[in-house]
């Protein structure tokens, strides 16, 4: 069944959206539309400003080529190809506040819609990364949407005279666009699941508690992220001042709008480098970025008016939540770089002390100095808990709606298996895109267990459709789905430090 606004022309379907008609393509039986604008290009006066509605167009817009991406620097790690997960880096172009859509049948009605927010430490990434191809989700009966949003200084720097939490505002604008246009692609605008990984997951967790996002989505999936990865607005202003100083301009939105994206990226490198990085600890000496992430959402504005520890959420709004982490998150940063092998006890304490005043006691609780424990491995276990697992647990316990949890445990074969179940490893499984992340430097290797991919995607689709999962809710007994070649339900492990 089709509507008058939906045209099938061989392998080039045309759909009418709120901005105009777009022409996609059919690939493997799935309709795909790329680079559809949900907001105006963020240039000129629209830099460091909230997203603006895009201009409409006449005729049919070609939506068959990948979009530009937000200004960013492509990062690499020795012996590990993260490109399938993070994307190839900066694909230049002004019109990058766009989204991609995959649909099994644009003549259908009422399909669940999943909107995916990419990761990238709030400074990189794209919704068009190879491992995040939505064909598998569409084939399983959903409409899958991925978006690009502003990152780094242009997305998460609270500049005086400019908007705050710009990247989050972009995401909200994108979800509003999806609600407005879901039916044209066969989706149900009242059954939207917001799904994010890493920085995208932290974004989803924040939007769960944002009054500006209340009611925009029905369910949430949070992979390796949490709502504690935020800074007070006053600390964010310190970072803004440091960026302005690095480029040699006044710390105002007007002045920074005159600075090129290339110059801002150079300034980002300065303020994220050890030795030139500003002190971003809060009044109690904590840095929620743990040295891994510098640009973060800020609390104290209209997007996030709450304090992280308060546990408040918009009254009466409690979307179903699916949340989980990888068992060895931090290994992807410490193993390829050699840090896990080279760091000594005092160095491990010093590295953590930059983020926590109680670093020595924390590492002692994880076994530092006991027997033949390797300081780098102790640091890795502690950081996995501190930055990922423990705050995810706290969110799961605090969330007022139905909550399910998972622990991804299958280990990557890279670096002789020492990566373990590291950060980002689960994405090619849940998207059923294992072929994009294989090979000698691919996270999943040459023979990943395809049954894990089948299980995860089916479970995620069922959750998006109904808000239910096949394993018990994360209640007082803290049961989680432990995902490995043999998947089981188990009790969540207790961290050596308090995580309640």
C-alpha–C-alpha distance, residues 356 and 371, integer Å:
25
% of the chain residues with pLDDT over 90: 86
The pLDDT value given to residue 316: 61
Predicted confidence (pLDDT) per residue in 257-276, tens digit:
999 999 999 999 999 987 78
Q: What pLDDT shows up at residue 182?
A: 97
- Active site residue: 203, 399, 423, 453, which one? 423
Q: Looking at the domain assignment, is residue 179 inside a domain?
A: yes
Instruction: Quote the pLDDT of residue 314.
Output: 59
The CATH number given to whatever domain includes residue 106 is 3.40.50.1820
**What local confidence, expressed as pLDDT, does residue 3 receive?**
41
Indicate if the pLDDT at residue 293 is higher than 60. Answer: yes
Mean of pLDDT values over 117-135: 96
Q: Quickly tell me which residue has 């777009």 as its tokens.
A: 22
Nearest CA among 245, 243, 237 for reference residue 264: 243
Specify whether the CB–CB gap between 215 and 194 falls below 8 A: no
For residue 478, the model assigns a pLDDT of 83
More confident residue, 76 or 145: 145
Confidence of residue 1 (pLDDT cuts 50, 70, 90): very low
What is the extent of the structural domain holding 244? 24-52+62-344+408-472
pLDDT at 323 over 70: yes
- Of the candidates 210, 212, 413, 401, which has an alpha carbon nearest to the alpha carbon of residue 321? 401
What value does the mean pLDDT take over residues 429-456?
96
Domain-embedded: residue 384: no
Catalytic one of 154, 183, 320, 329: 329
pLDDT digits (tens, 9 = 90+) for 353-389: 999 999 999 999 999 988 878 999 999 999 999 999 9
Residue 385 forms part of a structural domain:
no
How far, in whole angstroms, is CA 381 from its chain's centroid? Answer: 22
Residue with tokens 């995580």: 499
Question: What's the domain count of the chain?
Answer: 1
Tokens for 240? 């803004």
The string of pLDDT tens digits covering residues 31-65 is 999 999 999 999 999 999 999 999 999 999 999 99
C-alpha distances out from residue 235 to 176, 278, 367, Å: 30, 10, 32
pLDDT of residue 74: 87
Catalytic residue among 135, 198, 210, 453: 198
pLDDT digits over 150-193, tens only? 999 999 999 999 999 999 999 999 999 999 999 999 999 999 99
Cα 435 to chain center, whole Å?
21
State the pLDDT at residue 313: 58
Query: Is 343:375 a contact under the CB 8 Å cutoff?
Result: yes
What gap in Å lies between CA 168 and CA 156, rounded to an integer?
8
- On average, the pLDDT of the chain sits at 93
Has residue 391 got a pLDDT over 50?
yes
Read off the pLDDT band of 76 (50, 70, 90): confident
Residue 489 inside a domain? The answer is: no
pLDDT tier at 10 (50, 70, 90 boundaries)? Answer: low
Q: Count CB-CB contacts under 10 A for residue 245.
A: 15
Residue 316 lies in a domain: yes
pLDDT value of position 361: 95
Pick the closest to residue 144 from 189, 113, 106, 169 (CA basis).
113
Tell me, yes or no, whether 484 lies in a domain: no
Q: Is the pLDDT of residue 308 over 90?
A: no
What's the pLDDT at 311? 56
More confident residue, 500 or 374: 374
Cα end-to-end distance, the chain, whole Å? 52
Tokens of 258: 């005159």
**182 touches 108 (CB < 8 A):** no
Instruction: Give the gyration radius of the chain's Cα atoms.
Output: 22
Confidence tier at 8 by pLDDT (50, 70, 90):
very low
| pLDDT tens, position by position, 84-95 | 999 999 999 999
Query: How far, in Å, CA of 192 to CA of 218, rounded?
Result: 5
158 and 234 in contact (C-beta within 8 Å)?
no
Is 290 in contact with 355 (CB distance < 8 Å)?
Answer: yes
Look up 198 and say whether it is catalytic: yes
pLDDT attached to residue 498:
60
* Residue 371 included in any domain: no
Q: Specify if 217 maps to a domain.
A: yes
* Residue 224 among the catalytic residues: no
pLDDT at 136: 97
Whether 329 sits among the annotated catalytic residues: the reply is yes
Residue pLDDT, tens place only, 444-471: 999 999 999 999 999 999 999 999 999 9
């Amino acid at each position: 069944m089709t509507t008058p606004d939906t045209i099938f022309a061989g392998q080039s379907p045309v759909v009418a959206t709120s901005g105009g008609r777009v022409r996609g393509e059919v690939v493997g039986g799935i309709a795909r539309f790329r680079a559809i604008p949900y907001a105006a290009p963020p240039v000129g006066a629209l830099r460091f400003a909230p997203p603006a509605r895009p201009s409409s167009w006449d005729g049919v817009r070609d939506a068959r080529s990948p979009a530009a991406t937000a200004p960013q620097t492509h990062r690499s790690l020795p012996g590990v190809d993260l490109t399938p997960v993070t994307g190839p880096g900066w694909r230049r172009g002004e019109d990058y506040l766009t989204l991609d859509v995959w649909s099994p049948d644009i003549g259908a009605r009422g399909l669940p819609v999943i909107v995916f927010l990419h990761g990238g430490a709030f400074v990189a990434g794209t919704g068009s990364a190879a491992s995040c191809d939505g064909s598998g989700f569409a084939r399983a009966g959903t409409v899958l949407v991925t978006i690009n949003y502003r990152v780094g200084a242009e997305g998460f720097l609270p500049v005086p005279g400019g908007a705050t939490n710009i990247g989050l505002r972009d995401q909200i604008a994108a979800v509003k666009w999806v609600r407005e246009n879901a039916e044209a692609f066969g989706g149900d605008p009242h059954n939207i699941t917001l799904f994010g990984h890493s920085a995208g997951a932290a974004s989803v967790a924040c939007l769960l508690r944002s009054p500006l996002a209340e009611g925009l989505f029905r369910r949430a999936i949070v992979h390796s992220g949490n709502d504690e990865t935020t800074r007070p607005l006053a600390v964010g202003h310190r970072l803004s001042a440091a960026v302005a100083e690095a480029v040699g301009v006044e710390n105002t939105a007007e002045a920074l709008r005159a600075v090129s994206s290339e110059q801002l990226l150079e300034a980002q490198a300065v303020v994220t480098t050890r030795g030139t990085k500003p002190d971003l600890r809060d009044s109690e000496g904590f840095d929620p970025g743990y040295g891994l992430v510098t640009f973060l959402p800020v609390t104290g504005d209209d997007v996030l008016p709450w304090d992280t520890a308060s546990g408040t959420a918009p009254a009466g709004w409690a979307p179903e939540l699916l949340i989980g982490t990888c068992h060895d998150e931090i290994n992807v940063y410490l193993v390829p770089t050699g840090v896990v092998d080279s760091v000594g006890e005092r160095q491990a304490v010093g590295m953590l002390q930059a983020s926590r005043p109680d670093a020595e006691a924390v590492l002692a609780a994880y076994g530092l100095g006991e027997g033949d424990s390797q300081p780098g491995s102790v640091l890795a276990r502690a950081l996995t808990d501190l930055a990922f697992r423990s705050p995810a647990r706290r969110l799961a316990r605090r969330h007022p709606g139905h909550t399910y949890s998972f622990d991804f445990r299958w280990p990557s074969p890279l670096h002789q298996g020492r990566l373990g179940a590291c950060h980002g490893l689960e994405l090619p499984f849940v998207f059923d895109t294992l072929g994009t992340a294989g090979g000698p430097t691919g996270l999943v290797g040459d023979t990943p267990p395809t049954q894990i991919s089948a299980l995860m995607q089916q479970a995620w689709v069922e959750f998006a459709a109904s808000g239910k999962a096949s394993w018990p809710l994360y209640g007082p007994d803290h049961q989680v789905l432990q995902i490995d070649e043999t998947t089981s339900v188990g009790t969540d492990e207790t961290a050596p430090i308090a995580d309640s």
